[in-house]
């Protein structure tokens, strides 16, 4: 893995159940892990347009490659999301790069708000 290519800061957020001061439980996103990553495919051929409710919306996706560590190994596609440059991305797929424990590659799709 080329460490010099890790130049974009990303944050992984975890979906957790939190309790407020009254004892109510609700799901909320909490910051889990921040690191530097290589971003690929953002806004290129991986993006497409589709019609939703009579309007044309962009369906952007990208790949995020980070170094392997114990915290990054615990990230799953169902309980985590990526924050990059203030935009939210859902994790669609995790590639363990032949299970060599050097890097992880996440395929992400931009979340519409």
**pLDDT tens string 2-17:** 777 788 999 999 999 9
Pairwise CA distance, residues 104 & 69, whole Å:
9
Token pair listed for 78: 């169902």
Cα 88–Cα 94–Cα 27 angle in degrees, nearest 5: 45
Residues 21-70: tens digit of each pLDDT: 999 999 999 999 999 999 987 655 456 666 666 677 677 888 999 999 99
Residue-number span of the structural domain to which 97 is assigned = 3-110
* Residue 74: C-alpha distances to residues 19, 22, 32, 68, 89 (Å): 23, 31, 10, 10, 18
- Predicted model pTM: 0.82
Reported as half-sphere exposure (CB side, CA atoms, 13 A), residue 85 has a value of 8
Number of domains in the chain: 1
pLDDT at residue number 111: 86
pLDDT at residue number 63: 92
pLDDT at residue number 112: 76
**Domain of 61: which CATH number?**
2.40.10.270
């Amino acid at each position: 893995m080329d460490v010099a290519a890790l130049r974009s800061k990303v944050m992984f957020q975890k979906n957790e159940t939190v309790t407020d001061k009254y004892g109510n439980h609700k799901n909320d996103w909490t910051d889990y892990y921040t690191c530097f990553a290589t971003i690929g495919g953002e806004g290129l051929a991986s993006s497409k347009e589709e019609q939703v409710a009579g309007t044309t919306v962009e369906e952007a996706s990208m790949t995020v490659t980070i170094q392997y560590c114990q915290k990054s190994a615990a990230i799953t596609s169902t309980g985590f999301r990526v924050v990059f440059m203030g935009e939210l991305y859902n994790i669609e797929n995790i590639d363990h790069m032949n299970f060599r424990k050097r890097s992880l590659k996440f395929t992400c799709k931009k979340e519409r708000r």
